[in-house]
Amino acid sequence: MPHVSRSQSQLVVLQDGLFREVPLDPLTRKICLRLNPPSLADNLADVDRLRESLQPLLGPVTVPLPLMRAVPEACRQQDWVVTATVGMTGRGWELVDLEPGDTSGRHFGLAVDIGTTTVVAYLVDMRTGRVLDVAAGCNGQVAFGEDILTRIYLAGTTDGLAQMQKSVVGTLNCLVKQLEERCAVAPEEVSAVVASGNTTMMHFLLGLDPAQICREPYHPVVNNPGFLRAQEIGLKINPLAILYCLPGVGSYVGGDVIAGVLVSGMHRREELALFVDIGTNAEMVLGNKDWLAACAGAAGPALEGGVARVGMRAEPGAIKSVRIDQQNHRVHYQVIGKVKPKGICGSGLVDCLAEFFLNGIIDRSARFRNGRTFFTLVPAAESATGEDITVAQTDLDNLMRTKGAVNAALETLLEGVGLGIGEIERFYVAGAFGMYLDTESAITIGLYPDLPRERIVRLGNSSGEGARQVLLSNQKRLEAEEIARRITYFELNASQQFMNRFVGSKFLPHTNLDYYPTVKEKLKKRGMVLDG
Amino acid sequence: MPHVSRSQSQLVVLQDGLFREVPLDPLTRKICLRLNPPSLADNLADVDRLRESLQPLLGPVTVPLPLMRAVPEACRQQDWVVTATVGMTGRGWELVDLEPGDTSGRHFGLAVDIGTTTVVAYLVDMRTGRVLDVAAGCNGQVAFGEDILTRIYLAGTTDGLAQMQKSVVGTLNCLVKQLEERCAVAPEEVSAVVASGNTTMMHFLLGLDPAQICREPYHPVVNNPGFLRAQEIGLKINPLAILYCLPGVGSYVGGDVIAGVLVSGMHRREELALFVDIGTNAEMVLGNKDWLAACAGAAGPALEGGVARVGMRAEPGAIKSVRIDQQNHRVHYQVIGKVKPKGICGSGLVDCLAEFFLNGIIDRSARFRNGRTFFTLVPAAESATGEDITVAQTDLDNLMRTKGAVNAALETLLEGVGLGIGEIERFYVAGAFGMYLDTESAITIGLYPDLPRERIVRLGNSSGEGARQVLLSNQKRLEAEEIARRITYFELNASQQFMNRFVGSKFLPHTNLDYYPTVKEKLKKRGMVLDG
């Protein structure tokens, strides 16, 4: 099982220990059948013979026309020994493939996480649940625009939607091909795919118009597309492979969030838990086994890379962590890969904001003190570009907006259910960003609530892991659908309360410092005057 | 409602009074919905909104991906008034179309009878059950061979099967286009098709390999293909229209026979009934509400036209009935259409055999008496060809083989269930041939059993009418499937008993003349020596 896999594009895709055991009851099954050859005394039609032998095992099985055509040849090639691949749909089992002989030893599926920036594909052995290999690549749509709104706009132009679909499916097909080659698996042997991603990405994958997602009243075309076939979107695996997309709840709480809740298990526990996934939007789910509430705030692209002047993705050359010496204000930084620094990725930027604050370089409203307009992190001589790597006021302002949106969303959600921050018993952080972000820095700037540290759990790529679990377990699929049904969705795009809180959450770590006792303590220890 | 429709190719397709009333519960339904427009307080996804409004009426409705794509536009075009067309499948309802506004006033379906020679299509108003128009045409496969075995052979050659499918679908598309033009119906408005035909024709229609049908142990690829979509076979109507084929029982008892039983109603009555459809094969079903048994005997092509030297289809110029004056042996004949005779169709040929026998022109084994080798029906001067129209010994021999096969099949069937001919309380005759065949002649030659005439019922094109009933009534579809399940099928291709009877049934009307009391009486009246 791979621990951390960096694909050729060096994207971080998965962390140690994140695959969980699930009871094996996968989306597709392979069953080897020894059929009775037809005779004058038993001249049942071939397809009926197949269906009758599957019936006692699975109930009625639907055979699609292209497979009806293939049945006679498949049955006769290995003397009436065949292996049927059947796929679960909402309405019982359907035939996905029929191979001559016993091929039940080879059975593969794909779990796919479609991110706005990165697409990750896991090739899964359906017999064991093991991930055989992982491939990740840049979502081909990035060529049309880094941010999601540009792509939604483009989808509204002539052929735009088709182009968006083609590019994401193209990325997927490229990853799948790599996996198939590396693991010596034929495309036809892949009989099931589960895809997870935000609502817009799911729309693009299926060729659905996302126009209404960003228009009041902000609703998707569909939240639960159900069971489709791979050929319907041009995926180059078994054309009849079952394609299932994790259900979403609304325009800004998609299948990736449902996957996260599923992987956390918060929907099955007594304790009050909060799940947070911070990207362009901060999506969060609060609740426990009795209730679930969700919302999403537009966090802005500050942490997505490519927006801050020196911002970049978590690729080689990115400064991933920053510490500033309390005594001499000297900068210590770590870079991804053994190369000179080129820019700063999200976790580095969060560190900067926290360290600037703790060292009095900025004030509580994140403004540089003493007339300073920027801070030089890396002098030109040390950088890969030959220019200074600096953090400017605008970079800090962008990050403050993100933090403000997260704060405001969480507080609106908590108030909606009448609870306080301190009552959160478990705090789940999703995504690669959550994986590498320094928890102390995130708390110092107020991005995370100031909870006892043992309550904070990093889930890693819970979107991909949720897809894998649903691929392997019908029970997990039903759980995911149940989660989507149970969640009460608070639409914040039009919430005045959210806007008020957003405008009010301009301070580090929070307007009310008492919500952040450990940060207050830190500041006190440093003898800093609390100027809020 | 059309009574007798002769299409441009002048094929007889339907007879007066053959459409029966059925309870309307059609294969597809149209439902006009006034959806609540989405708002911030109700921002359900479009597809979910549609599904939720259909759910209370129909239970869960599956929406195929191409329609998911169309939902947002359809909903917004007429201010959230839409008309959903839903189609019945074995596992509940699926969306077939979604139109803006209220289009529930227009709802069309097709009932299709695929004959080896003739294809007939009925355009049906699904709201009333009325047949709006009928079109018939020659099955495009005839170009590859009049008889079915030639076509099965060709299907085994490169691209042969694809060609067979293409030609029958081409014929259908041509008929459908005529109907749509004549009735001003758009192709997309046709949302359901029910097809009926013999097992080989159904295989060709669906592109299934018929090779095993004529090889021991004589089994089809599938008997009940279930619910398909029009686009799967290239039918040019609504691509997502539901396509249902009447289920068959075996290689020689297909959906057309099931349709016949359904139309007869024999499966619901106490009385013992026999259903017979005589074409290249003589297919028959015996039974009542408690049991059903079927078999088929190869009748040969004697009655199909184009085989006897002067044989032809029931087209203009065909001699359809023949009487020979008992006194002077003068021939009186009737021709289809107001034209000179060109040849003889099946009903004319049966008349000839009967009249030759009753007038002592042939003996009981159907051999010409007095050294004669042929009989001139029409002298050259009266014929359209300028040549004599004659009936030769070979023509009689072919017809005798057909009659022998029918006799042998019926007797094998009766013996199989331990009953005698006289116990048949109702005798249903299917097909256009059955419609125009003179009952007395058919009995005289022993093709039909010698039953009290009031027990004999002509069903006309029961294959097409069965398709129409299933199109219009879910109950009728379930009945058809029940009939197919209930029928016990006797395979005669390998039955020695059948072969013995076939060889033994060489006499007119029957080896045992006592089975034919009215014929015996007729012969007596004519003072004919019984030379059997």
Q: In this predicted model, what pLDDT tens digit does every residue of A58-101 receive, in sequence order?
A: 999 999 999 999 999 999 999 999 999 999 888 899 999 999 99
Query: Is residue B280's pLDDT more than 80?
Result: no
pLDDT score at A532: 45
CA-based nearest distance B345→chain A, Å = 35
> Over the Cα atoms of chain A, what is R_g?
25
Q: According to DSSP H, which parts of A59-127 are helical?
A: 65-77
A499 close contact with B: CB closer than 8 A: no
Question: What residues of B are in contact with residue A219 (Cβ under 8 Å)?
Answer: 38, 43-46
Question: What residues of B are in contact with residue A46 (Cβ under 8 Å)?
Answer: 212, 219-222
Per-residue pLDDT band at B91 (split at 50, 70, 90)? confident
Please give the average per-residue pLDDT across B299-317, as a whole number.
70
Three-class SS state of B438: coil
Query: Is residue A432's pLDDT more than 80?
Result: no
pLDDT score at B52: 96
CA angle B207, B211, B212 (to 5 degrees): 115
Which residue is it, tokens 């003179």? Answer: B438
B379 close contact with A: CB closer than 8 A: no
- Are A206 and A126 members of one domain? yes
Three-class SS state of B45: coil
- DSSP state for residue A301 in the 8-state scheme: G
How many whole angstroms separate alpha carbon A260 and alpha carbon A10?
A: 24
Last residue of a domain, one of B100, B116, B135: B100
How many whole angstroms separate alpha carbon A82 and alpha carbon A85?
A: 10
Please give the average per-residue pLDDT across B22-27, as a whole number.
92
Which residue is it, tokens 């009074």? Answer: B17
- DSSP state for residue B513 in the 8-state scheme: G
A87 close contact with B: CB closer than 8 A: no
- Are A209 and A133 members of one domain? yes
B46 close contact with A: CB closer than 8 A: yes
Last residue of a domain, one of B344, B375, B395: B395
pLDDT score at B9: 32
pLDDT score at B499: 84
pLDDT score at A511: 86
- Cβ-Cβ contacts under 8 Å between A and B: the total is 131
A65 close contact with B: CB closer than 8 A: yes
Structural domain span for residue B349: 318-395
B44 close contact with A: CB closer than 8 A: yes
Query: Is residue B256's pLDDT more than 90?
Result: yes
Question: What residues of A are in contact with residue B224 (Cβ under 8 Å)?
Answer: 48
Using CB atoms, pick whichever of A40, A45, A225 lies closest to residue B221. A45
- Are B164 and B37 members of one domain? no
Using CB atoms, pick whichever of B44, B208, B250 lies closest to residue A68. B208
pLDDT score at A63: 97
Interface touch A216/B65, C-beta < 8 Å: no
- Are B117 and B223 members of one domain? yes
How many whole angstroms separate alpha carbon A42 and alpha carbon B216?
A: 11
- Inter-residue contact A115 to A463 (CB < 8 Å): yes
The letter for the amino acid at A28 is T
In the Cβ-directed half-sphere of A374, how many Cα atoms lie within 13 Å? 14
What rounded mean pLDDT belongs to chain A? Answer: 90
pLDDT score at B67: 98
Which residue is it, tokens 């085989």? Answer: B307
Tell me, yes or no, whether A336 lies in a domain.
yes
- Torsion sign, CA atoms B385, B386, B390, B394: negative
Tell me, yes or no, whether B486 lies in a domain.
yes
B250 close contact with A: CB closer than 8 A: yes
For residue B412, the domain's CATH number is 3.30.420
Query: Is residue B194's pLDDT more than 90?
Result: yes
pLDDT score at B307: 52
Over the stretch B391-421, which tens digit does the pLDDT of each residue have?
999 999 989 988 888 889 999 999 989 999 8
A72 close contact with B: CB closer than 8 A: yes
CA-based nearest distance A207→chain B, Å = 7
The DSSP bridge partners found for residue A428 are A275, A457
Nearest CA in chain B to A243: B65
Probe site for chain B from A39, A42, A46, A58 (most B CB atoms < 10 A): A46
pLDDT score at B16: 41
pLDDT score at A352: 96
- DSSP state for residue B142 in the 8-state scheme: G
pLDDT score at B20: 72
Per-residue pLDDT band at B366 (split at 50, 70, 90)? very high
How many whole angstroms separate alpha carbon B226 and alpha carbon A64?
A: 9
Q: How many CB atoms lie within 10 A of CB B186?
A: 11
Tell me how many domains chain A contains: 4
Please give the average per-residue pLDDT across A317-338, as a whole number.
93
Q: Which B residues 173-232 touch A at CB under 8 Å?
A: 206-209, 211-212, 216-226, 228, 232
CA-based nearest distance A73→chain B, Å = 9
Using CB atoms, pick whichever of A69, A91, A251 lies closest to residue B92. A91
Tell me, yes or no, whether A45 lies in a domain.
yes
Interface touch A221/B43, C-beta < 8 Å: no
CA-based nearest distance A288→chain B, Å = 24
Question: What residues of B are in contact with residue A491 (Cβ under 8 Å)?
Answer: 40, 43
Interface touch A222/B62, C-beta < 8 Å: no
- Inter-residue contact B199 to B257 (CB < 8 Å): no
Three-class SS state of A41: coil
CA-based nearest distance A64→chain B, Å = 8
pTM attached to this predicted model: 0.91
Cis? peptide before B341, omega within 30° of 0: no
The letter for the amino acid at B212 is Q
- Are B297 and B158 members of one domain? no
Question: What residues of A are in contact with residue B218 (Cβ under 8 Å)?
Answer: 40, 43
The letter for the amino acid at A132 is L
pLDDT score at B436: 85
Question: What residues of B are in contact with residue A92 (Cβ under 8 Å)?
Answer: 91
Question: What residues of B are in contact with residue A209 (Cβ under 8 Å)?
Answer: 69, 72-73
Range name among A57-66, A119-128, B108-117, B491-500 with the lowest pLDDT average: B491-500
Question: B407: which 2 tokens?
Answer: 């006799």
- Are B39 and B85 members of one domain? yes
pLDDT score at A495: 81
Range name among A220-224, A299-303, A474-478 with the lowest pLDDT average: A299-303
- Inter-residue contact A3 to A14 (CB < 8 Å): yes
Interface touch B47/A228, C-beta < 8 Å: no
CA-based nearest distance B47→chain A, Å = 5
Range name among A40-44, A385-389, B202-206, B254-258 with the lowest pLDDT average: A40-44
- Are A138 and A241 members of one domain? yes
Over the stretch B483-512, which tens digit does the pLDDT of each residue have?
999 999 888 877 888 888 887 778 999 888
pLDDT score at B96: 98
A243 close contact with B: CB closer than 8 A: no
pLDDT score at B7: 36
Last residue of a domain, one of A63, A83, A100: A100
Interface touch A209/B72, C-beta < 8 Å: yes
A70 close contact with B: CB closer than 8 A: no
B234 close contact with A: CB closer than 8 A: no
B92 close contact with A: CB closer than 8 A: yes
Q: How many CB atoms lie within 10 A of CB B32?
A: 14
Question: What residues of B are in contact with residue A48 (Cβ under 8 Å)?
Answer: 222-224
- Are A286 and A423 members of one domain? yes
Nearest CA in chain A to B232: A65
Per-residue pLDDT band at B360 (split at 50, 70, 90)? very high
Per-residue pLDDT band at A241 (split at 50, 70, 90)? very high
Question: What residues of A are in contact with residue B206 (Cβ under 8 Å)?
Answer: 65, 68-69
Write the CA distances from A495 to A296, A502, A503, B204, integer angstroms: 11, 11, 13, 61
pLDDT score at A7: 36
Query: Is residue B88's pLDDT more than 70?
Result: yes
Q: How many Å separate Cα A335 from the centre of its chain?
A: 24
Q: How many Å separate Cα B46 from the centre of its chain?
A: 44
How many whole angstroms separate alpha carbon A78 and alpha carbon B440?
A: 55
Tell me, yes or no, whether B159 lies in a domain.
yes
CA-wise closest residue to A11 among A336, A264, A240, A330: A336
Over the stretch B431-452, which tens digit does the pLDDT of each residue have?
877 888 999 999 999 999 999 9
> Over the Cα atoms of chain B, what is R_g?
25
Torsion of CA B213, B214, B218, B221, to 10 degrees: -10
Edge-to-edge order in the sheet of strand B81-89: B28-34, B81-89, B92-100, B61-62
A62 close contact with B: CB closer than 8 A: yes
Per-residue pLDDT band at B532 (split at 50, 70, 90)? very low
Probe site for chain B from A39, A42, A219, A235 (most B CB atoms < 10 A): A219
How many whole angstroms separate alpha carbon A406 and alpha carbon A427?
A: 14
The 8 Å CB, 24+ separation contacts for B230-234 are B230/B193, B232/A65, B233/A65, B233/B165, B233/B169, B233/B205, B233/B206, B233/B207, B234/B166, B234/B169, B234/B173
- Are B362 and B497 members of one domain? no
- Are B156 and B124 members of one domain? yes
Q: What is the 3-state secondary structure (H, E, C) of A189-225?
A: HEEEEEEEECHHHHHHHHCCCCHHHHCCCCCCCCCCC
Query: Is residue A20's pLDDT more than 80?
Result: no
Over the stretch A177-200, which tens digit does the pLDDT of each residue have?
999 999 999 999 999 999 999 999
Which residue is it, tokens 């029966």? Answer: B20
Range name among A201-210, A485-494, B455-464 with the lowest pLDDT average: A485-494
Using CB atoms, pick whichever of B48, B217, B223 lies closest to residue A38. B217
Tell me, yes or no, whether B61 lies in a domain.
yes
Interface touch B207/A44, C-beta < 8 Å: no
Interface touch A90/B62, C-beta < 8 Å: yes
Over the stretch A253-297, which tens digit does the pLDDT of each residue have?
999 999 999 999 999 999 999 999 987 788 999 999 999 999 988
Tell me, yes or no, whether A437 lies in a domain.
yes
How many whole angstroms separate alpha carbon B524 and alpha carbon A488?
A: 92
- Are A235 and A160 members of one domain? yes
Tell me, yes or no, whether A369 lies in a domain.
yes
Question: B183: which 2 tokens?
Answer: 């009735």
Probe site for chain B from A208, A223, A227, A253 (most B CB atoms < 10 A): A208
Per-residue pLDDT band at A308 (split at 50, 70, 90)? low
pLDDT score at A307: 52
- Which conformational region is residue B446 in: left (phi greater than 0), alpha (psi within -120 to 50 degrees), or beta? left
pLDDT score at B310: 67
Question: What residues of B are in contact with residue A233 (Cβ under 8 Å)?
Answer: 65
A92 close contact with B: CB closer than 8 A: yes
- DSSP state for residue B236 in the 8-state scheme: S
- Are A261 and A205 members of one domain? no
Three-class SS state of B276: strand
Three-class SS state of A371: coil
Query: Is residue B124's pLDDT more than 90?
Result: yes
Phi, psi for residue B47 in degrees, rounded to 5: -65, -40
For residue A198, the domain's CATH number is 3.30.420.480
CA-wise closest residue to B244 among B176, B194, B207, B202: B194
- DSSP state for residue B301 in the 8-state scheme: S
- Inter-residue contact A20 to A1 (CB < 8 Å): no
Longest dimension (CA), chain A: 98
Question: What residues of A are in contact with residue B251 (Cβ under 8 Å)?
Answer: 43
Tell me, yes or no, whether A18 lies in a domain.
no
Interface touch B224/A68, C-beta < 8 Å: no
For residue A88, the domain's CATH number is 3.10.20.880
Query: Is residue A361's pLDDT more than 80?
Result: yes
